[in-house]
Amino acid sequence: MIKRLLLTIWFYIGFFGYVVIYGSLVLLISKIIKKIKGEEKSDAYLRKVVNNFGRRSFKLLGIKVDIEKEIDINEIEDEQYMIVANHQSLLDIPLVIGYVHTTGFIAKKELEKAPIISSFIKALGSVFIDRKNPSKAAAALRDIKRKLEEGRKLTVFPEGTRTLDGKVKPFKKGSLMIPYRYNIKILPVAIDGTYYIIKKGEKLLNPHDVRIKIFKPVNPKDFESEEELRNYIYNLISSEIN
């Protein structure tokens, strides 16, 4: 309990200092770079900082991250794809941007209200979906399509929310409709361990190693329906966790 308490205190001190204070400075610098050198330079600076943040989040907490890869992501950097991962905890976002790819996210509208964090994931090209408003949800889907066509990478957690027991929840119906309809390759990623560090609804952190498996890209053209594609990706990821 003492170890958990110390880790939790360190986490929140680090969050305030690194994310709130340093993060605010980074956002200001990125705006200055954008005005002076243009959007491309600003975007590159921001992505480098955010990638470092993702990795340091785990290193500073003393959490070991093991990565298993079926493919070198650098080989498909110029290709169009979406990252599809299971969702275990709030730490999944820094984990993906630090150890998989500095992507934007397809996220719930509620996350847009999070101070500083929402500013960063917005700057990465994230799209917030209001599920309660069909017209806004439709507009968000068009925005997702446009960003992918521009070459941006996006990550989606098709379970829709964090797991309550560590196991992969069934994927939401239609959660992979965008990659299926527009024939965008999927990079499946299995996340294992972040659930034990900070469970949904809990405040105290628990030391635990994390494991990531990055699978080979999956081509939606090989499936006859979104449901078939969704079930395949679910089985692929859950076989590593469940």
Q: Is the pLDDT score of 98 beyond 90? A: yes
Q: Note whether residue 143 is domain-resident.
A: yes
Rounded to 5°, angle at Cα 137 from 131 and 140: 130
Q: Note whether residue 160 is domain-resident.
A: yes
Q: How many CA atoms lie within 13 A of 85 on its CB side?
A: 29
Q: Which range marks the domain in which residue 87 is found?
A: 64-241
* Contacts of residue 37, Cβ cutoff 8 Å, sequence gap at least 6: none
* Contacts of residue 217, Cβ cutoff 8 Å, sequence gap at least 6: 71, 76, 79, 81, 185, 186, 187
The CATH number that applies at residue 205 is 3.40.1130.10
Q: Note whether residue 108 is domain-resident.
A: yes
Total domain count, the chain: 1
C-alpha–C-alpha distance, residues 99 and 122, integer Å: 19
Q: Is the pLDDT score of 203 beyond 70? A: yes
* Contacts of residue 121, Cβ cutoff 8 Å, sequence gap at least 6: 93, 104, 105, 107, 111
Q: What is the pLDDT of residues 31-67, one digit of tens each?
A: 999 999 999 999 999 999 999 989 998 998 899 999 9
- What are the CA-CA distances from residue 170 to residues 87, 162, 163, 193 (Å)? 11, 11, 10, 19
Q: Is the pLDDT score of 117 beyond 80? A: no
